[in-house]
């Protein structure tokens, strides 16, 4: 019988809530066919459940543990992740407690050799990074899931097996009161890097594991340093390796360093060894203050992905689908994009609005994204933690040069996780009649400042949104007429009109500063169609009702034959890469 830990985990800054096991109706003989079952209530399972709920689809979310994640793990949310969390209605606590930041400094042999400001536009509500510990991320999402009334969150319930047939999937679940079977039409595997679902289906990652072990130690300390990323290459106390320092909410600081190659993780986590190294880091940054350890762990770097995120009625998301290096804060941030992409497609298929083939486009779009991230994350990893003597020589030569030269400094850019543009998606309608430099189909919907604390993305309702710009009443009336007549094929569809102050009214947002118009390079009459995951999928000047309806139909995959998701995603693995399965 599955018996997860029921004593609250220890933490200096988070009061863990232990969730009881509640006996489900299936254990007393009820026969229920659920729409969607999600395995794993980590960040990705939770956002997927919220994305489904926003579009009216309930889900059962089974979670093996009785409480949220142990330790801070993913601490940096990117702007895109914050936008996705906003789109599923859970953003407020993240804004209230997160630490926004946008710059970082790198040091080599005691000299500051690189300073990077991540691009931040005054039109973006969220900063490039917002630091929030993973326990808090999960707690806020659990609160939102409970508040939605659409997510049946079953704690202390481990998936141990599954079978699928033509009409659904049966999960075998183990609980403190014994086993039961749960039937769902579709299953999302969001059960993390060691996914049971992936193992049960016999699926293997492709990609590579990198050598080297890294320690993360979270300490509480009173440090008068700003919220920024600090990176120290080759410090005296840890020659050849590097150290990262990040500030977290609650007076917590993350110290992250690579171990010498001949040292085991167990030896590195010995209290005296760890304490000595934390002391050396604090000395190095000139702040030898008192501190308390909150949590420590060891991790490795991998660039691994499944080649297909769909296995019949089972869809993979987050770490169950890919394992990415944390350099560049990729794991959870990539998983949120999976969840946003999958949530609406699953909802549309489940509601009978879109064909099954739409689910193949999830795999097509997100595997391509993961491969792009593996390539980029691999470059960051090779620089941060050279895997061979050759890479180390090149890295050290670059570092030596930046002491005296400007030109190699951009090589120290740490390539933060960024959103993937689905430029080659079969769901896109080619743009027509808009400025060539305007946002294109495939890109995330750009935000724009409407007022002091008022931004465009906050006004987008759930579902497909036609975002239209009109400067005069006649243009607005014509666009409104065409949108009202458009055939949305049963999908949730609404229009948001961006207008000057004189045209204010219901369904309209006032672009008093003209910033939305400028950011979209829009003329009066220009319109963009946004998918429910807030990626653009069409753009035109004065589209008629037929054009709008055709674009919604295309984005729903109505023209796709089963199994035709647009071909093999870009950057497919080479033969040599199709092998290793990594361990975290």
Catalog residues that contact ligand FAD under the rule CB under 6 A: 39-45, 62-65, 69, 73-76, 134, 158-159, 190-193, 196, 216, 297, 299, 318-320, 326, 329-333, 335
Partners of residue 254 on adjacent β-strands: 218, 246
Cβ closest to ligand FAD, residue 43 vs residue 378: 43
Cβ closest to ligand FAD, residue 73 vs residue 208: 73
Q: How far is the CB of 447 from ligand FAD (least distance, A)?
A: 21
Q: How far is the CB of 449 from ligand FAD (least distance, A)?
A: 27
Q: Calculate Rg over the CA atoms of the chain.
A: 24
Q: How far is the CB of 333 from ligand FAD (least distance, A)?
A: 4
Q: How far is the CB of 459 from ligand FAD (least distance, A)?
A: 28
Cα 365 from chain centre: 14
Dihedral sign (CA 344, 349, 354, 355):
positive
Given a contact cutoff of 8 angstroms between Cβ atoms, the answer to whether 170 and 314 are in contact is: no
Cβ closest to ligand FAD, residue 333 vs residue 381: 333
Q: How far is the CB of 183 from ligand FAD (least distance, A)?
A: 16
Cβ closest to ligand FAD, residue 326 vs residue 552: 326
Q: What share of the chain is helix, strand, coil (3-state, %, to 5)?
A: 30, 25, 45
Cβ closest to ligand FAD, residue 340 vs residue 553: 340
Q: How far is the CB of 294 from ligand FAD (least distance, A)?
A: 13
Cβ closest to ligand FAD, residue 63 vs residue 421: 63
Rounded Cα distance between 65 and 69, Å, is 9
Cβ closest to ligand FAD, residue 161 vs residue 566: 161
Rounded Cα distance between 465 and 475, Å, is 18
Cβ closest to ligand FAD, residue 280 vs residue 297: 297
Cβ closest to ligand FAD, residue 299 vs residue 391: 299
Given a contact cutoff of 8 angstroms between Cβ atoms, the answer to whether 471 and 516 are in contact is: no
Q: How far is the CB of 125 from ligand FAD (least distance, A)?
A: 20
Cβ closest to ligand FAD, residue 335 vs residue 444: 335
Rounded Cα distance between 549 and 371, Å, is 33
Give burial (CB, 10 Å; 0-12/13-18/19+) of 512.
middle
Q: How far is the CB of 75 from ligand FAD (least distance, A)?
A: 5
Given a contact cutoff of 8 angstroms between Cβ atoms, the answer to whether 129 and 417 are in contact is: no
The encoded tokens of residue 188 equal 């999302």
Q: Closest by alpha carbon to 59, among 263, 258, 315, 279?
A: 315
Q: How far is the CB of 300 from ligand FAD (least distance, A)?
A: 9
The encoded tokens of residue 252 equal 């917590």
Q: How far is the CB of 578 from ligand FAD (least distance, A)?
A: 22
**What is the four-CA torsion angle of 23, 26, 29, 34, rounded to 10 degrees?**
150
Q: How far is the CB of 139 from ligand FAD (least distance, A)?
A: 12
Q: How far is the CB of 301 from ligand FAD (least distance, A)?
A: 11
Given a contact cutoff of 8 angstroms between Cβ atoms, the answer to whether 432 and 540 are in contact is: yes
Q: Closest by alpha carbon to 39, among 141, 145, 161?
A: 161
Cβ closest to ligand FAD, residue 215 vs residue 560: 215
Cβ closest to ligand FAD, residue 24 vs residue 468: 24
Q: Which segments of 471-554 are extended strands (E)? A: 493-499, 508-510, 526-530, 536-541
Encode burial over 181-210: b for 16+ CB neighbours within 10 A, e otherwise: ebebbbbbbbbbbebbbbebbebebbbbbb
- In angstroms, how far is the first alpha carbon of the chain from the final one? 26
Rounded Cα distance between 172 and 183, Å, is 9
Q: How far is the CB of 336 from ligand FAD (least distance, A)?
A: 8
Cβ closest to ligand FAD, residue 190 vs residue 465: 190
DSSP letters spanning 364-396:
HHHHHHHHHHHHHHHHHHHHHS-SSHHHHHHHH
Query: Any alpha helices (H) in 385-472, and if so which ranges?
Result: 389-402
């Amino acid at each position: 019988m599955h018996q997860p830990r029921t004593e609250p985990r220890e933490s200096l800054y988070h009061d863990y809530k232990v969730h009881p096991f509640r006996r489900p109706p299936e254990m007393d003989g009820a026969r229920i066919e659920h729409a969607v079952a999600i395995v794993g209530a980590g960040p990705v399972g939770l956002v997927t459940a919220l994305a489904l709920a926003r579009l009216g689809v309930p889900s059962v979310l089974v979670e093996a543990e009785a409480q949220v994640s142990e330790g801070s793990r993913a601490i940096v949310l990117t702007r895109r992740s914050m936008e996705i969390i906003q789109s599923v209605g859970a953003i407020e606590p993240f804004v209230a407690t997160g630490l926004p930041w946008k710059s970082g400094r790198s040091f080599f042999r005691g000299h500051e050799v690189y300073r990077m400001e991540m691009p931040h536009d005054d039109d973006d509500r969220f900063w490039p990074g917002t630091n929030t510990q993973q326990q808090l991320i999960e707690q806020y999402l659990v609160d939102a899931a409970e508040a939605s009334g659409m997510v049946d969150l079953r704690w202390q319930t481990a998936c141990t097996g599954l079978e699928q047939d033509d009409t659904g999937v049966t999960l075998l679940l183990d609980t403190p009161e014994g086993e039961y079977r749960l039937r769902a039409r579709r299953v999302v595997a969001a059960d993390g890097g060691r996914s049971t679902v992936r193992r049960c289906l016999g699926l293997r990652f492709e990609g590579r594991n990198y050598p080297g072990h890294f320690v993360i130690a979270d300490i509480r300390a009173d440090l008068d340093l700003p919220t920024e990323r600090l990176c120290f290459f080759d410090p005296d106390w840890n020659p050849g390796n590097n150290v990262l320092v990040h500030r977290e909410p609650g007076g917590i600081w993350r110290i992250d360093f690579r171990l010498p190659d001949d040292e085991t993780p167990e030896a590195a986590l010995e209290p005296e060894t760890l304490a000595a190294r934390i002391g050396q880091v604090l000395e190095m940054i000139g702040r030898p203050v008192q501190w308390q350890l909150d949590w420590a762990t060891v991790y490795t770097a991998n660039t691994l992905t499944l080649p297909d995120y769909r296995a019949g009625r089972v869809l993979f998301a987050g770490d169950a689908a890919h394992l990415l290096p944390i350099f560049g804060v990729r794991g959870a941030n990539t998983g949120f994009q999976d969840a946003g992409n999958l949530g609406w497609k699953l909802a549309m298929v489940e509601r009978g609005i879109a064909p099954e083939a739409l689910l193949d486009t999830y795999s097509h779009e997100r595997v391509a994204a993961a491969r792009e991230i593996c390539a980029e994350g691999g470059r960051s990893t090779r620089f941060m933690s050279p895997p061979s003597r050759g890479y180390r020589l090149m890295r050290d030569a670059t570092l030596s040069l930046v002491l005296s030269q400007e030109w190699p400094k951009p090589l120290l850019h740490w390539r933060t996780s960024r959103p993937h543009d689905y430029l080659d998606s079969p769901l896109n309608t080619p743009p027509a009649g808009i400025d060539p430099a305007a946002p294109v189909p495939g890109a995330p919907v750009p935000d724009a400042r409407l007022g002091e604390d008022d931004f465009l993305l906050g006004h987008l309702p759930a579902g497909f949104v036609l975002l239209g710009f009109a400067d005069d009443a006649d243009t607005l009336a014509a666009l409104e007429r065409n949108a009202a007549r458009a055939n949305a094929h049963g999908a949730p569809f609404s229009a948001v009109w961006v207008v000057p102050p004189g045209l204010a009214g219901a369904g309209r947002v006032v672009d008093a500063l003209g910033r939305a118009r400028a950011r979209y390079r829009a003329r009066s009459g220009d319109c963009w169609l946004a998918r429910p995951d807030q990626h653009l999928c069409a753009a035109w000047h004065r589209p008629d009702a037929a054009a709008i309806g055709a674009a919604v139909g295309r984005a729903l995959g109505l023209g796709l034959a089963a199994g035709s998701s647009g071909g093999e995603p870009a950057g497919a693995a080479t033969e040599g890469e199709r092998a290793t399965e990594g361990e975290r």
